[in-house]
Amino acid sequence: MKTLLLLYLCASVAWGQGNLDYDEDVEPTNTPADTGAPVDARGHRPIMKAGDTYIPSRPTPPPVGGASRYRGRPTSAPVGGPQRQEKVEQPEDGGCTHASEEMGVLCPTGCELKTTLLKQERNTKMSISELRPQVDDLSRSSNNIFNYVNRMSNSLRERQKVINDNSRVVSQYTDQVEEQHAYIKETVDTVFPSTIRVLNGILDKIKEKIQRLEKAIQTQKDDCKEPCKTKCPIPVVSGKECEDIYRRGGKESQMYLVQPDATSPPYKVFCDQTTQNGGWLLIQNRLDGSVDFGRRWDEYRRGFGNTAFDTGKGYCNTPGEHWLGNDRISQLTKTGPTEVLIEMQDWTGAKVHAQYRQFTVQSEVTSYVLAVDGYSGNAGNTLLEGASQLFGVNRTMTIHNGMMFSTYDRDNDKWIPGDPSKQCSREDGGGWWYNRCHSANPNGRYYIGGAYTRQMAKHGTDDGIVWMNWKGSWYSLKAISMKIRPYFASS
């Protein structure tokens, strides 16, 4: 049996040593593509030799069991056996006739012993008769005393139990009183002064706010001494969108009021009525970095920024940095065929554009899926074809057509969905229809001067206002805008 166990152990050790070469950087022979890159042994254990097969773990033999081969050890026998004592002959019954060491030198006869014992018996019975009443009295007294002592002991135990219970209750109340006293003392010595200081600080801040409000009220009163004038008066003409306004006579590029749906309230937009015969409604604009585009999902849904401002003409004729809002963009593009014009400018003043004859943004139920087609222009077809500098799957993953909208708090891109460390919007600075990740990033971070580096980027990625097919990844544009209008064939 021992020999079999030793042979089994030796075979197991030899088999294990034959599989200890997984730390070597050896390129596996059966690979999907011959890339030439070494295998990372920390990631998995590759098969090293041709013809190797995976050997599953052998079952572990159970421990040896069953009946024992030995019985209990016998008890050793004593050294020497017991020795028999010889019977000693005693003197004859009925008295002594000779001298004996056990019985004494002289021994009385049996008759003499009988006479003596009878005399002693009579005397003893008389003494017993005299003592019996006394013993009875003592027995009765002892019983009474015993019963009394038992009653006293029981009473004492009950009293002791009551005393112990009282002592325990007193101890508990004492502990509670001490805890309450310590809490009250700590509250009085520490909490109350701290709370008073905090309240004093809050009171001082409230006083400061009251003073600022009083100052602001006084400023408003001073400003309102004369009749107030509207800085951006809304034109009388309005319509469903900017093309409708243009056809109704609103041919000045400025801020207007539009109402695409009669059931929805109207809202302000900037209409470009000069570019390509006008009718363009501005949905996005970047020009100076005054508005942060690293916003949440709800802000991109509602819209944010400054629609337009006045440059001294008495009306808002200059668009500001803003995002119209995904709900409004979706509503405008789903009412009918819509085209989009994307205009951009670098820091030398050069301008290019990309135009798509078909542009649709679905509703929030689909996370505002983007659909474009029919490219023309000189900026490069990034939305449909991706970055022209890349090839294969690297280029495919930069196409924006068909993507869902993503923000840093709503990850809908194609870069390991669900992994918070792999989010395009968080790394690239704004909300957009990211793939994995982009070839165009109009809502990225604003870098003054154009060129920027990985060290300047927050996450080391190309997070600027990028249009890769024109200026590459590491050039942030000075200005970019997106405009839409109903598509119709020009005559």
**Does residue 187 fall inside a structural domain?**
no
**Contact in structure between 380 and 470 (CB atoms under 8 Å):** yes
Higher pLDDT, 195 or 98: 195
* Element containing residue 440 per DSSP (H, E): strand 440-441
Q: Sign of the C-alpha dihedral, residues 38, 39, 40, 41?
A: negative
Mean of the pLDDT values across residues 186-202? 88
**pLDDT the model gives residue 399:** 94
Confidence band of 398 (pLDDT split at 50, 70, 90):
very high
Q: Give yes or no for residue 318 having a pLDDT over 60.
A: yes
Q: Does residue 58 contact residue 39 with C-beta atoms inside 8 Å?
A: no
- Kindly report which listed range (218-227, 269-278, 293-302) carries the lowest average pLDDT score: 218-227
Residue 46 confidence (pLDDT) above 60 = no
pLDDT of residue 132: 86
Please report whether residue 364 resides in a domain: yes
Kindly state the percentage of the chain with pLDDT values over 70. Answer: 76
Distance CA 319, CA 330 (A): 21
Q: Is 70 exceeded by the pLDDT of residue 28?
A: no
Q: What is the mean pLDDT of residues 38-61?
A: 37
For residue 319, the enclosing domain spans 242-486
**How many of the other CB atoms lie within 10 Å of CB of 436?**
18
Of the candidate ranges 43-57, 239-253, 294-308, the one whose mean pLDDT is the lowest: 43-57
What is the rounded CA–CA span in Å between residue 382 and residue 390? Answer: 11
452: in domain? yes
Q: Name the residue with higher pLDDT: 111 or 468.
A: 468
pLDDT confidence band for 82 (50 / 70 / 90): low
Q: Is the pLDDT of residue 90 over 70?
A: no
- Residue 31 domain flag: no
pLDDT of residue 279: 94
Distance between CA atoms of 480 and 287, rounded to whole angstroms? 7
CA separation for the pair 484, 271 (Å, rounded): 10
Is there a domain that residue 370 lies in? yes
- Is residue 273 a part of any domain in this protein? yes
Q: What is the mean pLDDT of the chain?
A: 80
What local confidence, expressed as pLDDT, does residue 31 receive? 38
pLDDT over 90 at 323, yes or no: yes
Give the model's confidence band at 361: pLDDT under 50 very low, under 70 low, under 90 confident, else very high: very high
CATH number at 463 reads: 3.90.215.10
DSSP code string of 259-313: -SSTTS--EEEEEE-SGGGS-EEEEEEESSS-S-----HHHHHH-EE--EE-SSS
Residue 373 inside a domain? The answer is: yes
Q: Is residue 11 assigned to a domain?
A: no
How many structural domains is the chain composed of?
1
pLDDT band at 421 (very low <50, low <70, confident <90, very high): confident
